[in-house]
Structure 1
Amino acid sequence: MNQQMTMESFDLAGVIVGETAISDVDGEAGRLSYRGVDIVDLVERPFAEVAWLVLFGERPDSAQQQQLTRFLCAHAELDQRERALLAELPSGLHPMLVLQGLVPLIELPTEQSLGLGLDAEHGLALAGKLSGLIAAYYRREQGLEPAANTSDTDFHYNFLSLFHGEAPDADAVRMLDAAQILQMEHSFNAGTFAGRVCASTLAPIQSSISASIGTLYGRLHGGADQAALEMAQAIGHPEQAAEYVHRCLADKVKIMGMGHREYRTVDPRAKLLKPMAMQLCREPQSRQLLETLVAVEAACQAEFAERGKEIWANVEFYKGAVFHSLGIPSHFFTAMFAMARVYGYIAHFLEFSRDSRLIRPRARYNPNLD
């Protein structure tokens, strides 16, 4: 057996490695649901409502939503120790390495304040802290001090204020809510599974989240959003998309953000995000990037149709245009993904920890791989 055959035979594609009630990815039908509720019915709901549903399996009442939002906003603000940790980091680190490295160093609450269990509250404290770390690290790149909280009633309003140092408009908050809901959870993806493997050793939740974030960083996972937008920037104009796609396919170069391993039809998240982006990305540069991405998808579909195949953009493909329109640089896109997916990571940690067993697969020894 050669190396290529071995890699293809043991990539776990289609192998059931556990059970979950958190989300269901129906790749054949192109559907995604959280706790049995279709993502179509959740994308315009309040962010805190969807986060609570993913975490605890039920819709919260208004008091619980407010309580969760206040908790997340409170933990978004960095204390002096956390600011000092951030200041000591080498310049030029990718934001994902910053998050992966700092998550285990955050001091967590020693007592419950929400009555949700200490693991859940530790996870939520880290979820809030991710937003503060992302915003403060961006401002450090700009030579600015971290901003102070401006809200305890709207998590993403507060985040965008921390990030830019000024209040966002309502459309920006609505677009960020939708994008983050769409990427909050996705069953046993690579990052989530890495976190479950870590949790199976009885490591604490901060180690599990850090492992998940490190896995999400990869270009074949969360990093596709950054790669897709930077591709559009390199192409320059929609009119040049067809030539670019033809050249990539001829040279067998992967076009990041096109196709999804799980979906045999259109990614339901991209189906929802694309029209939102078309409606709300009005700033000229963001609009041109979005139109370039649309042209790339159309060119890919035309090329694949000639081969008797179909291909569709996934959620990472159009998400970059949304984040660009919000004034978020491309090297922060995957950190924004982590800021949303962390609720899925917490939910899986809590679910798995109720009846955990060490995940210890076997390997077939093959001396011919060298």
Structure 2
Amino acid sequence: MSDPDAATMTHEEIGAWWATSVTRVAPGEIDLRGYAVQDVIGRLGFVEVVWLLLRGERPDPARARMLEAALVASVDHGPQAPSIAAARMAATCGLGLNSAVATGVNLLGDVHGGAGQQCVALLHRMADLRAAGGGAEAVAEAVVAEYRERGAYVPGFGHRFHPRDPRRDPLLAMVREAVEDGVVDPGPLESALALEKALAARRTRPVPMNIDGATAVVYACLGFDAELARGLFVLSRSVGILAHAWEESRGGARIKGPLPRQVLAAYTGPPTRALGPDA
């Protein structure tokens, strides 16, 4: 059946085009998942509202605290992070603040910014394998062997800059506390620690969880889908991107590239040559 002609559509049919359970808006009225916005303002924190909009109901205080900790932990990693560097460069090129922030956010893809989502997906997969009868350590060893055979990195582990990511321990300590209090299921934490142990086997140096792995444990314990883990990381890192773009825009520099002007990129092509008379 073809779509109805717009001229004959009822108000209900037109309104159903963008039907949503997230927000109800009417003249003088805004409801967020059924709560009047004037009741929410000043009574719910930002993280509680994030949870409310994504999940449909308010979180309990323990889960809200865990989500807030994960979001705080991921806000920034300095101008050496490509997303931050890109935003700072954009700010020196005359772009508005919103465009500079968008430049940085748009660099958060599968390689830079996607490991958290990939790690949550892996923890969900390990949960299925464990439910089928595998122990945490046996499943982790099989997963690590699989990644090594493919020559791939296990997402959420190791860091190119930090021997041990300083954000790992406080996040995992909070998860352990929540597990002990019966707030969340221990499965994701057990699987992640088993992966860490399997990765360290037969190595002289351990491969501890990085921020992506630690926040993946939090998001998996809280029941977030893997794709939302990346969305939450983008939400968090946008704060750092905004701060760096704003700082750079206040500095007065113009058209800053990836290298200082005194440094030229190494050239690996042929030496300077004549075009020749036959050109």
TM over 0.5: yes
Q: Are residues 251 and 324 of structure 1, via their aligned partners in 2, closer, same or farther at CA, if it must alter by over 3 Å? A: closer
Q: Which residue of 1 aligns with 2:172?
A: 274
Q: CA separation of 1:350/1:336 partners in 2, compared to 1, >3 Å: closer, same or farther?
A: same
2:107 aligned partner:
215
In 2, distance between residues paired with 1:327 and 1:317?
15
CA contact under 8 A between 1:157 and 1:173: conserved in structure 2?
yes
Aligned to 1:152: 41
Give the 3-state SS of the residue equivalent to 1:310 in structure 2: coil
* Alpha-carbon distance between aligned partners in 2 of 1:190 and 1:278, rounded to the nearest angstrom: 32
Alignment match, 2:188: 289
- CA distance, structure 2, for counterparts of residue 175 and residue 347 of structure 1: 24
Instruction: Kindly provide the amino acid, as one letter, of the partner of residue 359 in structure 1.
Output: K
User: How far apart are the structure 2 equivalents of 1:268 and 1:219?
Assistant: 23
Shift in alpha-carbon separation, 1:160–1:181, aligned structure 2, 3 A: same
Query: Cα gap change, 1:363/1:136 in structure 2, threshold over 3 Å: closer, same or farther?
Result: farther
Superposed counterparts of 1:60-209, under 5 Å: 87=18, 136=22, 147=33, 148=35, 149=37, 151-153=40-42, 154-188=45-79, 189-209=81-101
Alpha-carbon distance in 2 for matches of 1:248, 1:338: 26
Rg: which structure is higher? 2
1:224-243 aligned within 5 A: 224-235=115-126, 236-237=129-130, 238=136, 239-243=138-142
- Report the counterpart of residue 338 of structure 1 in structure 2: 234
Deviations 1:91-140 (A, max 9, x none): xxxxxxxxxxxxxxxxxxxxxxxxxxxxxxxxxxxxxxxxxxxx959xxx
Per-residue CA shift, 1:224-245, capped at 9, x if unaligned? Answer: 0011121222333313111221
Partner of 2:155: 256
SS of aligned partner of 1:268: coil
Whether contact under 8 Å (1:246, 1:303) holds in the other structure is no
Moved over 4 A (4+): 281-284, 361-368
1:360 equivalent in alignment to 2:257: yes
Larger helix share, 1 or 2: 1
Structure 2: stretches of 5+ with no match in the other structure: 1-14, 24-30, 131-135, 259-263, 271-279
Partner Cα distance (2:150, 2:219) in 1:
30
For the aligned residue pairs, the C-alpha RMSD in angstroms reads 2.8
Number of residues of Structure 1 aligned to a counterpart in Structure 2 = 225
% of aligned pairs identical? 25
Per-residue deviation, 1:87: 4.4
> Normalising to structure 1: TM-score of the pair?
0.55
- Give 2:144's aligned residue: 245
Residue of structure 1 in register with 2:3 after alignment: none
CA distances 1:280-322 after superposition (whole Å, capped 9, x unpaired): 25577x5222211110011111232xxx233211011121221
Partner SS, residue 40 of structure 2: coil
Shift of 1:327: 3.2
Q: How far is the alpha carbon of 1:366 from its aligned partner?
A: 4.8
The alignment partner of 1:215 has SS state of coil
State the one-letter code of the partner of 2:48: Y
What are the Cα deviations for residues 246-279 of structure 1, in whole angstroms up to 9, with x where unaligned?
332244221111111110x210101111121222
Q: Secondary structure at the match of 2:95?
A: coil
The letter for the 1-side match of 2:175 is A
Q: What is the one-letter code of the residue matched to 1:220?
A: V
Tell me what 2:274 maps to: none
2:247 to 322, 347, 351: 351
